[in-house]
Amino acid sequence: MKELKILAVVVFLTAVVYIGVEPYAHTKLHPAVTPADFQFQDLEASTKVGDAARGAETFMMAGCVGCHGLESQGMPFSMDNQMASESFGVVPPDLSSAGYLYDEAFLAALIKNPAKALMVEHKFSDTNPHPMTSFYGLGGDLDQEVADIVAYLKSIAPTSMTNAEVFDDACLRCHGIKYDGGKKMTTEADAILAYMGTIPPDLSTMIRARGHGFLETFINNPQKHLEGTSMPRVGLKQETQLQVVDYMESIGDGKKAERERVGLYIMGYFVILSIFAYLWKAKVWREV
């Protein structure tokens, strides 16, 4: 009877911690946020259908290559990383893969108003403009011209990329990931500090600190978790964002699959051990 009472107390205390305290602590440490929005509904949707051939010309005339390379089309960026860092605060990404990485609606909105699409309007103003200038059009229908540029970027984009390549094109200008062979961010530290107000953290072990769910919603909209942060929304499509998170997991938690497998072996071992222990106990008690 005494054992049963002790058991009841233990069960009660465990239940209080598990059902009451743990979920409460969890909501404080990881406040619930709305799911990632891969439709980018806060941005104005365009109804225009782009034309890639026309877009190739519009792209050149819009001056994108003044700040971005287009390596795959034989137009590497003319500045080295140090000079680009000093000029823009961050090394502008090569656009060869932009059509693969980013959502179409996001790209269109970005070209028209970068600070808005990147959700960093709170950091910039007319006197302190975002380093990527808005495209105001070449005199024709602005939305059509933008749709053409997006169609062009999509037409030249690769059809598949490795997870590491996606990370490099989407994040490496601001974040190093040193556990992957010492990969360092491409922007110079002083420049990015001046631009962002902080040095973006190395992401080698971020998957362990934050986990999948947090990263899913964070990359899609950093403001949801860190209001006022200078990290821009990155505008990745659902698939490419998943590639980034998978890559971070492979670097920061590469032993996960192995750990899970070993866990199963150990559980099997205990099951078998329990059976033998039970049989042995039964045998001993039969004799007594």
- For residue 89, the number of C-alpha atoms closer than 13 Å in the C-beta half-sphere is 15
- Residue 167 near residue 80, CB atoms below 8 Å: no
Closest approach, Cβ 84 to ligand HEC, in A, equals: 8
Closest approach, Cβ 139 to ligand HEC, in A, equals: 15
Segment contacting ligand HEC by CB under 6 A, of 33-41, 59-67, 253-261, 271-279: 59-67
Closest approach, Cβ 57 to ligand HEC, in A, equals: 12
Name which of 176 and 200 has its Cβ closer to ligand HEC. Answer: 200
Binding flag, residue 62, ligand HEC (CB under 6 A)? yes
**Distances 198 to 54, 114, 186, 194 between C-alpha atoms, Å:** 40, 20, 15, 8
Segment contacting ligand HEC by CB under 6 A, of 71-79, 92-100, 252-260, 271-279: 92-100
**Distances 114 to 12, 58, 133, 135, 191 between C-alpha atoms, Å:** 55, 18, 7, 9, 20
Q: How is residue 237 written in tokens? A: 């499509």
Name which of 27 and 133 has its Cβ closer to ligand HEC. Answer: 133
> Residues 217-246 vs ligand HEC: string with x where CB under 6 A?
-xx------x--xxxx-xx--------x--
Q: Which long-range contacts (CB under 8 A, 24 or more apart) does 79-83 make?
A: 81/186, 81/187, 81/188, 82/188
- Residue 247 near residue 163, CB atoms below 8 Å: yes
CA distance 204 to 177: 5
Binding flag, residue 88, ligand HEC (CB under 6 A)? yes
**Distances 243 to 1, 168, 240 between C-alpha atoms, Å:** 57, 11, 5
Name which of 54 and 210 has its Cβ closer to ligand HEC. Answer: 210
Closest approach, Cβ 229 to ligand HEC, in A, equals: 3
Segment contacting ligand HEC by CB under 6 A, of 26-34, 37-45, 61-69, 266-274: 61-69
CA distance 115 to 185: 22
Name which of 240 and 277 has its Cβ closer to ligand HEC. Answer: 240
Binding flag, residue 43, ligand HEC (CB under 6 A)? no
Closest approach, Cβ 1 to ligand HEC, in A, equals: 52
Name which of 163 and 229 has its Cβ closer to ligand HEC. Answer: 229
Q: How is residue 104 written in tokens? A: 């179409």
CA–centroid distance for 127 within its chain: 30
Among positions 127-186, residues that touch ligand HEC (CB under 6 A) are: 131-133, 135, 149, 170-171, 173-175
List, in order, residues 6 or more apart from 59 with CB less than 8 Å away.
Answer: 65, 149, 152, 153
Number of residues located near ligand HEC, criterion CB under 6 A = 43
Residue identified by tokens 């519009």 is 58
Compute φ and ψ for 226, nearest 5 degrees. Answer: -125, 85
CA distance 104 to 60: 19
Question: Which residues of the shown chain bind ligand HEC in the complex (CB under 6 A)?
Answer: 62-64, 66-68, 88, 90, 92-93, 95, 98, 102, 110-111, 131-133, 135, 149, 170-171, 173-175, 196, 198, 200-201, 203, 206, 210, 215, 218-219, 226, 229-232, 234-235, 244
